[in-house]
Every structure is written in C-alpha cells, then in structure tokens.
C-alpha cells in the first residue's frame, strides 16, 4: 500500500485514552495524515521527535 504524506496537525488528547507514538511509544502530540488511495486517509500519531523523521521520509 502506497501512502502519500498529506498534512501534519497538532494532536490534543481531550480527556480520552492517552495515545502513543507509533514509532517509539512515547505520548503522541502530532497527527500525520496520509492519502492511501480510493479517497482513504490514514492517520498516524507521533511524538514531537519522531514526527520530524516522518516529514523527511515522505
């Protein structure tokens, strides 16, 4: 599945369960949106450190 980086936005936990970075497991602070085809969008959560690596790869 090819994914194309679309945008980055801040993630704010609004009283629900804590979300964790998909790379390192630290608390997530950013959401990266990727287009994956047929109008589908994949949302992955990252910490501030790991999100910089996502932007460079994509």
Q: How confident is the model over 5-45, as pLDDT tens digits?
A: 899 999 877 778 889 999 999 999 999 999 998 889 999 99
Q: Which residue has the tokens 């194309």?
A: 4
Look at residue 28 and give its three-state secondary structure. coil
pLDDT tops 80 at residue 47: yes
Three-state secondary structure call for residue 27? strand
**pLDDT of 55 higher than 80:** no
What is the per-residue pLDDT for 40? Answer: 93
Q: Which pLDDT score, from 0 to 100, does residue 14 have?
A: 75
Please provide the size of the chain in residues: 58
Number of domains in the chain: 1
- Print the domain residue range for 41: 4-57
Q: What 3-state class would DSSP assign to 48? A: helix
pTM passes above 0.75:
yes
Contact yes or no for 18/47 (Cβ under 8 A)? no
């Amino acid at each position: 599945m090819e994914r194309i980086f679309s945008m980055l936005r801040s993630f704010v936990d609004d009283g629900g369960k804590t979300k964790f970075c998909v790379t390192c497991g630290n608390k997530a602070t950013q959401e990266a949106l990727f287009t994956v085809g047929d109008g589908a969008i994949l949302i992955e959560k990252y910490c501030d450190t790991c999100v910089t690596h996502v932007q460079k790869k994509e």
